[in-house]
Each structure stands twice: as structure tokens, then as C-alpha cells.
Structure 1
């Protein structure tokens, strides 16, 4: 049976919305589910979860999980039978994060002259640069570049490839990205070509791929995924880094910061800083 694309929207107070997002992250049947959480109305304390299930089973499970939070108002809308993602992206404004300017083809005429300009076309991949997690990673990286450069960079869960491409366009000689989704790998490589840079992307689950191992150890690792995978990858990420190497972690809610931070502290990392954007957190930590 053909699945008709849906958007599930849930609105409610911040604490309830963040708890619901935690429940989505912790549900084994929703591993890899695509959703976002953001503040919609500060004065009324209204936060919004937007979820985009890819199967009927995922849609049903998302609605079951959200139903456990009666303070949320949940609606499910059918999306038009069209390239709805491309249509939505066409209306997104370009994004500035530190020295980086992320834009799509529809914003090509707006490129500033004093920024590192990244043309990113999303297709079916995550990471246009608009999400708070991606912006946090770019901002953290931009700030790090004020003090040092990075010869070898790994991007775990690359999505559209924006982070590895940002590295390749700011002096990184070896920029490698991985993703567990074959379409994302294809889109990332296409975006690398669009940006005329040397970032390359491989289909891999974890960090044990030959093309990942051959360039280790890395000076910097990006991991913009989800809280639980971040924790499970803490030791492999440590193994992929050179002594003194840095990791930029994101994809976690502020409520999950202690959980992820503790996992990395226990593996021999030290905390450098965090960046909060909307409900999301980005962590910078260093291997010691």
C-alpha cells in the first residue's frame, strides 16, 4: 500500500513538549523519526512539535506516544501529493551562523561578500541549516576557527553534508561524512560538488567503515544526530579523535544535555562549552 505523506503537529507548554520529544527519542519504534521542536509563541508558552512520519506504522506510533501527553493539542494533516519538501524549502530564508551563510538555489542572489557561502539543497535529507541543531554546530565551529584550523574532520550523520562542506571550505584538507541513509549520502556528495569542495561522503553505520578508518585520527568530529546514538557512539568517537581533538555534539534537547555530557565526561572528554538555541543544545568537548 502506498503511504500518503503526513505532518503531525503537537502544541503545548514547553515542559510538556520537551517531555514528549524525550518520549519520541526514547521509543525504539521511532528510532530515526524526523521531527523538530521550537517555540511558537513566547508570551503564551506555546511550543510546537512537527513530525514527518515516513510510514503508516511510524505515523500511528507517533500519535500513540503524543497521546500520552493530554496537555498537547495534536493534529495530523495529509500533505499534498507533490514534492512538498522542496516546496517548503523554497520559502525558507537563508541562514547566517557565525562566518557561514547557508542558502538554497532560490536565494543565490542574496549571498554576502564577507561570509563563507554554502549552497545546500536538501532533497530528502536533513540539515538545511535552518534547524537549531545545525545552526548550533555551525556557530560552534565558526568560533573554534578563530583560534585554530582543522586538517582532518569527520561528520557523523551528515544529512545534507553541510557541516563537512563548511569544514572543507574553511581549510580542512580531509573532510569525510557518513550517513545511514543512502539518499542522504547521494545528496551530500551532490552538495559537495555544488560547492566545489573536497568533502566526500560514504554510506556507513557507525565509525568502522574502511574509508572512515583510513583518515583517522581526526582533529574534529561533528555528530549531529540524536541523544541516545550520541551516547552509544561516545567511545567510537573517542577512538576516532587524536589527543586534544574536539567533538561538536548536537541533535539533543536541553533536557538531555546532562545525560550526553556525562557519557562523554566518563569516556575521558572535558567540557568546553554549550550553545542553546530554542529547545536544542550543542556541546563542544575535548578528548584528553
Structure 2
């Protein structure tokens, strides 16, 4: 079915917007959906969801999901017949997260000295570095690097590869990323070359894939995916880590923290830190047993 590019905009109070976003996350048919949630008007308490569906089916499912939340207003706007993804990225400012400076080609001339500069081109993959989940992961990683080093790093659901590339650029001898989306793996490997990073990305559907198990046990596992798979993968992530190793988890809303944290505490992890960016949360957990 043909699809004319559209943007779906939903607005409402924070609780309603977060509930709508959680509803999107819970739908297996929307696992690849690209959307963001942020506070639009602090004085009025209005939060906003922007979704960019890539098919008419995704448009229909998203609008149906959002319509189930009466306190959220939904609008569908047509996008101009242009490379709207590139245009939207060109308006994004660089991201600063501790020592990391993440930028696109349009900011080539704004790269500061004495930082770990990461040039990331999204293409068809998720993860320019601007999303609150990715920023949270980078902030958590930067803080950890102030007191310890991670030689072997795994990035589950790598998207553009920014997290594994950040690890490779800060001294990890093995930085491997996986994704179930083949175009993302291709783009991540291209970004690794672009950043002269010794990071490798493979197409794999789980942590039991032979290409993933070959590098275990890892010192650090990034998993910036969604709350349901984070819970489902809790045992696999544990077994991929050495005792004392760290998991940085994100892709979850603040409202989903308790569920995800409980799954990992029951596996012998200790929660060390929570980082909040907009409505999103990143968790730092250490395997204790």
C-alpha cells in the first residue's frame, strides 16, 4: 500500500501523554515506530508526542492507539514531498553528554576540541543521539568512566551504533553492537568507519546468537530498546555480563521504571542510578551475583 509521508502530533497532560506513549510501546506491531515525547508547554503542563510512521498501516495503528486516550488530542499532518528526515535532522543542535559531543554533518564546523566527538548520520536507522534515551545512556556511561573502564562492551539494539562507537572511542578493546534490523546494522558499521572507531555491528535476533556469545562475558551491556523486551531479556543480559559488570538500560518511560527495575533486582542486580530526560528513564544496574 502506498504511503504519503505524514507526521502524527498528539498533545495532552503529562500523565495522559505518558500513558499514550506506553500504549505505543506495548504494541508489537509498532516495535519499529519512530516517535518522541517531550514537554511542550511547562506553564500549561502540556506534553507532546511526535510520530513519523513509515507505512499506512503504521499510521492506522498509531492513530487508533492514540484515539483510545480521550485526554490526548491527535492531529495528522502531511509532510512535504522532500527528504523530510534529512531536513528535520538539519535543524537538530549537537548533543552534549559529559565528554561526548554528538553531531551531524550539518554541524561539522561546530566540533569542539578536547571532547569525544561522534559524527552520527541516522539514514534509515533510529538514534541520532538526540533522543532522551540515548542522551541518558551517554550521561550514565560518562559518569561510570570517571572511576572504571570497560574492556568488553555489548550494545543490544544498536540503531545507528552511537553507544558502541562511544565505547570504542573511549578505550574498549571489544565493542560489538547488534540489531534485528539489517539496515541499522549497515548504517552502524558505516558510522563506525566515519568515526574511525573499532566497533563492529552484526545482525542478530538475541543474546544467544553465536556472534554475541563469542564476546561474553562483557564488562558492560547497553540495551536501549523498549520496556517489554528489557524485562524479557533480563536473564540473558545477566548471563552475558561478568559478575560486577554493568547494564545501562533505556528505552523506557519513567512510568515503566518500577517494572523493569524489579525484573533485574530479582536476577541479582543492584540499582546504582536513575537518569531522567524528558519522560524517559535510563537505569544503571550492576550484576552482583
TM-score, scaled relative to structure 1: 0.98
Matching residue of 2:2: 2
Aligned partners of 2:161 and 2:150: how far apart in 1?
A: 17
2:2–2:55 contact (8 Å) kept in structure 1: no
Query: How much is the aligned-residue C-alpha RMSD, in angstroms?
Result: 0.9
Matching residue of 1:265: 265
Q: CA deviation at 1:81?
A: 2.6
Structure 1 residues 117-165: Cα deviation after superposition (integer angstroms, max 9, x where no partner): 0010111111111111000000000000000111000000000000000
Matching residue of 1:94: 94
Task: Give the match's secondary structure for 1:40.
Answer: strand
Q: CA deviation at 1:267?
A: 1.1
Task: Give the match's secondary structure for 1:246.
Answer: strand
Q: Which is further off, 258-267 or 55-64?
A: 55-64
Aligned partners of 2:99 and 2:112: how far apart in 1?
A: 10
List aligned pairs for 1:130-279, cutoff 5 A.
130-279=130-279
Q: Which is further off, 221-230 or 82-91?
A: 82-91
Task: Give the match's secondary structure for 1:89.
Answer: helix
Task: Give the match's secondary structure for 1:3.
Answer: coil
Structure 1 residues 236-273: Cα deviation after superposition (integer angstroms, max 9, x where no partner): 11111011100000000000000100011111111111
Task: Give the match's secondary structure for 2:80.
Answer: coil
Q: Aligned pair count?
A: 288
Aligned partners of 2:92 and 2:27: how far apart in 1?
A: 30
Q: CA deviation at 1:6?
A: 1.8
Task: Give the match's secondary structure for 1:61.
Answer: helix
Q: CA deviation at 1:57?
A: 1.4
Aligned partners of 1:273 and 1:225: how far apart in 2?
A: 18
Task: Give the match's secondary structure for 1:121.
Answer: coil
Aligned partners of 1:199 and 1:206: how far apart in 2?
A: 19
Q: CA deviation at 1:33?
A: 2.0
Matching residue of 2:42: 42
Q: CA deviation at 1:22?
A: 1.2
Q: CA deviation at 1:29?
A: 2.8
Aligned partners of 2:74 and 2:29: how far apart in 1?
A: 19
Q: CA deviation at 1:31?
A: 2.7
Task: Give the match's secondary structure for 1:101.
Answer: strand
Poorly superposed stretches of 4+, deviation over 4 Å: none
Task: Give the match's secondary structure for 1:77.
Answer: strand
Aligned partners of 1:29 and 1:105: how far apart in 2?
A: 32
Aligned partners of 2:45 and 2:246: how far apart in 1?
A: 36
Structure 1 residues 79-111: Cα deviation after superposition (integer angstroms, max 9, x where no partner): 223221111101111010011000111111111
Aligned partners of 2:103 and 2:65: how far apart in 1?
A: 35
Aligned partners of 1:149 and 1:74: how far apart in 2?
A: 46
Aligned partners of 1:128 and 1:209: how far apart in 2?
A: 26
Matching residue of 1:18: 18
2:136–2:277 contact (8 Å) kept in structure 1: yes
Task: Give the match's secondary structure for 1:212.
Answer: helix
Task: Give the match's secondary structure for 2:118.
Answer: strand
